[in-house]
Structure 1
Amino acid sequence: MAFLVCRGGWYATELLPYIKMGVDCSKRKGDFWITGSQVFRLMKNVSESLAGRVGIVNLLGLSDAEIYQEPSEPYQTDAARLMNRLSVRSRKGLNEIYYRIFKGSMPELYADENVDWETYYRSYVDTYLQRDIRDLAQVADEMQFYNFMTIVAAQTSKPVVYEELASAAGISAPTAKKWLSILASSHIIALVQPYHNNALKRVVKMPLIHFLDTGLAAYLLKWGNPEALEKGAMSGAFFESYVFSEIYKNYLNAGKEPPIYYYRDKDQKEIDLLIYQNGILSPIEIKKSASPGKTAIKNFNVLEPVTREETFGGLGALKVEIGTGSVVGMANDLLPVDEKNWYVPVWLI
């Protein structure tokens, strides 16, 4: 018989030893499901009680594929795969994309069109602070943490500099690091790690911040409508975070760990995203423009050292192949940049 522990089960930790006994006796998978949003206590108790007996599924906000009821698969830069997607994805213009970015990813906003956007996010933030944050020893002041969230939202798509975050929020750098970890653990943000390879000597070590729900970031930063957001100073940053979150969610929704990194070196050369899998490193640049030009791929060549065996002292197994590159933006169609790279419409990801 299947047994379901619904939201609030995180607090009934006394059930976990009995679940363990039930699992050990039946040997069946899927008898017990625990759902909810309070992850902090849960992970500690599950790790102690159900180690080796539990699978964890992280459910983020809705992806475009879920919203528009279109097929979903992890993003691949391969041109043939992208061409196959042309027949199953619907084209979207700038206004529709920014309406989607502004509205965000919360299921309730799509289930009921009568739900007021601002009221919903205000209630979400209040509930998050009171339910998930107030009880944490690391956070003594809810308003100070709210201000910190707002500062982090303003840094979406930028590298983390803990000292700057701490100074802006009026807290210490260690506290900023702890609070950022809380936001990451509760899937408010993702911290994208820099791609590191011994062949790349000047890579910076700081992670990149992306807000996973652009609607929440828009609420925190007081953007009032999609038109203002699209024309505003943070238009490009929100576009980047939206693209990242879609690619990130598509991997999670397929049950895969997102193999996503970024590149930035001490010469200020950047590549917005890197997908690394099966020994292939695929660079992705994100540009809001419909026609960014070939300068969009100008930094892709910084990856060349990873392809040379001599860079690794003759250890050929360490070298990496550079795959097809993408420039994701508002292009009207899938078009080649050159023989190795493609302009990819954002609605195709």
Structure 2
Amino acid sequence: MVLRQAEPTLAQLARGYPILAITGPRQSGKTTLARKAFPGQPYVSLEDPDTCAFAEEDPRGFLARYPDGAILDEAQRCPALFSYLQTRVDADQRMGRFVLTGSQQFGLMSSITQTLAGRVGLVQLLPFALQELLDAKVSVGSLDDMLLRGLYPPLHDRPLAPEQWFANYVMTYVERDVRQLIEVQNLSLFQRFLKMCAARCGQLLNMSSLANDCGVSHKTIGAWLSVLEAGYIVFLLQPHHQNLGKRLVKTPKLYFHDTGLAAYLMGIRDADHLSIHPARGALFENFVICELMKRRLNQGLAPNLYFWRSNTGEEVDVLIEQGDKLMPVEIKSGQTFTSGFLSGLHRWLQHAGDKALPAHLVYGGDENMARGGVSVHAWHGMQHTPAP
């Protein structure tokens, strides 16, 4: 069993909130975490049609079956329950009674904000963090193996081929959620859109270019992106707003929550192909940013990550905002460290002045070191970087 870093956070939140919510992508381990963290609570899946119908038609009778609380899986499927949950926890303010899980950010979060505001402790659970697997002595293979397989739990606790698993994941989950959230007239166009997004992994978001390549309107691209964000398939990394004496790019960058899914959508099928693929650097950058994000989300905190890029092309891959200070992190996929890796960091440090915290570099090699005033971290040694 892999110990999830979010489990202590859930235990802490359970002491201060009557309801806990675990949201995140499908197959990220939400149900497993909820049942492990709260083994004494009954488990109820609202994906079961009969159970969901009972909860919708008689919410009082449904909740009466669980006077001491329960784990309600895929809770967004039964929005009628939320008002009755509010009444129940207001009348009996025992902490940590109900645990809600959900895969659709829009459905679960909108119900929480409308009826359960102030009563819910929230954790967003992404696929495994690399450190979780390393701590559990689970082999992830080489860097290219890990980028190709990704970090979804089923691909590390079952003998599954990534290509087959991702094909089923896209068909059974991504496309189903799309149909539930918006009406897609042409599913093949949406599939093309998914692949176009993967091809742009780590790039500045250009919605007009996406619309032209997919043959749909700018408005449609916006709606489809919102669905992918709601389903925790992609996320947008925002540029940092502070000028630092430079005109800055104001467009976000597009990333996937898992490199394995992005690689699959790019048509990469083995580690040898990935090792020479032009998108390898972008996938490695995507991986590092996701790992930094997971460390924050697993603590129940909002992400505090940005990137910095001037209109002349100067760039730092990640800025971690800590109060009024900024910690720069550069990401290089090369396995051999060279002093050129540090040039962007050194330029940014000159602009930032006293706003800058110590700089870090994560690269594709195996050795941790300090060079030129920068802490250099191997890809599998990211636990030594300061927490975001």
State TM-score, norm by structure 2. Answer: 0.76
Quote how far apart the aligned CAs of 1:248 are: 1.1
Which residue identity is paired with 1:167?
N
**Structure 1 position 23, deviation (Å):** 1.0
| 1:258 Cα deviation after fit | 2.2
- C-alpha offsets along residues 244-293 of structure 1, whole Å, 9 cap, x if unaligned? 11111121112222211101111011111111103321111111113342
* 96, 99, 105: which one aligns with 2:142: 96
1:344 to 361, 364, 377: 377
Distance (whole Å) between structure 1 residues aligned to residue 369 and residue 350 of structure 2: 24
Q: Which runs of 5+ in 1 are unaligned?
A: 71-88, 308-319
Whether contact under 8 Å (1:160, 1:209) holds in the other structure is: yes
Question: Is contact 1:7-1:37 (8 Å) kept?
Answer: no
* Alpha-carbon distance between aligned partners in 1 of 2:365 and 2:79, rounded to the nearest angstrom: 51
SS class of match (1:299): helix
Per-residue CA deviation, residues 135-162 of structure 1 (Å, 9 max, x unaligned), is: 2236333222221111101111111111
Are the counterparts in 2 of residues 157 and 241 from structure 1 also a CA contact under 8 Å?
yes
CA contact (8 A) 1:282 1:325 kept: yes
Deviation at 1:43, TM superposition (A): 2.4
> What is residue 239 of structure 2 aligned with on the other side?
194
Q: 1: CA distance between counterparts of 2:276 and 2:178? A: 34
Matched, 1:106 2:152: yes
2:268 alignment partner AA: W
Q: How many residues align?
A: 315
1:10 counterpart letter in structure 2: Q
Select which of 159, 169, 172 maps to 2:214: 169
Alignment check: 8 A CA contact 1:190 1:211 kept: yes
Where 1:261 maps in the other structure, the secondary structure is strand
Query: Which residue, out of 138, 141, 164, partners 2:186?
Result: 141
In structure 2, relative to structure 1, the CA distance for the partners of 1:37 and 1:156 (3 Å cut) is same
- Could you say what the CA RMSD is over the residues aligned between the two structures, in angstroms? 2.2
> What is the CA-CA distance between 1:303 and the residue it aligns to?
4.9
Matched residue, 1:41: 107
Counting aligned pairs with the same residue, the percent is 30
AA partner of residue 174 (structure 1): K
Q: Deviations for 1:55-96, whole angstroms, at most 9, x for unmatched residues?
A: 2221111111222226xxxxxxxxxxxxxxxxxx9998xx61
Q: Which residue of 2 aligns with 1:28?
A: 94
Code of the aligned partner of 1:37: S
Q: 1:83 maps to what in 2?
A: none
Is residue 6 of structure 1 aligned with residue 39 of structure 2?
A: no
Distance 2:68 2:189 in 1: 43
Greater mean alpha carbon deviation, residues 205-214 or residues 167-176: 167-176
Q: Which residue of 2 aligns with 1:331?
A: 365
For residues 226 and 80 of structure 2, what CA distance do their matches in structure 1 show?
27
Q: 1:213 aligns with which of 252, 258, 272?
A: 258
CA shift for structure 1 position 5: 4.3
* Greater shift in the superposed pair: 96-105 or 141-150: 141-150
Q: What is the Cα deviation at residue 342 of structure 1?
A: 2.3
Aligned-partner residue type, residue 155 of structure 2: L
Q: Which residue of 1 aligns with 2:85?
A: 19
Task: Report the Cα distance in structure 2 between the residues aligned to 1:16 and 1:98, rounded to whole angstroms.
Answer: 44
Q: Distance in 2 between matches of 1:56 and 1:306?
A: 34
Q: TM-score, normalised by structure 1?
A: 0.84
What does residue range 1-349 of structure 1 map to in structure 2 within 5 Å?
1-69=67-135, 96-113=142-159, 115-137=160-182, 139-300=184-345, 301-307=347-353, 321-338=355-372, 340-349=373-382
Aligned equivalents of 1:151, 1:37: Cα separation in 2: 23
Counterpart amino acid of residue 80 in structure 2: E
User: 2:14: which partner in 1?
Assistant: none
Paired with 1:179 and 1:223, the residues of 2 have a C-alpha distance of: 24
Distance in structure 1 (CA, Å) of the matches to 2:299 and 2:126: 12
In structure 2, what is the equivalent of residue 85 of structure 1?
none
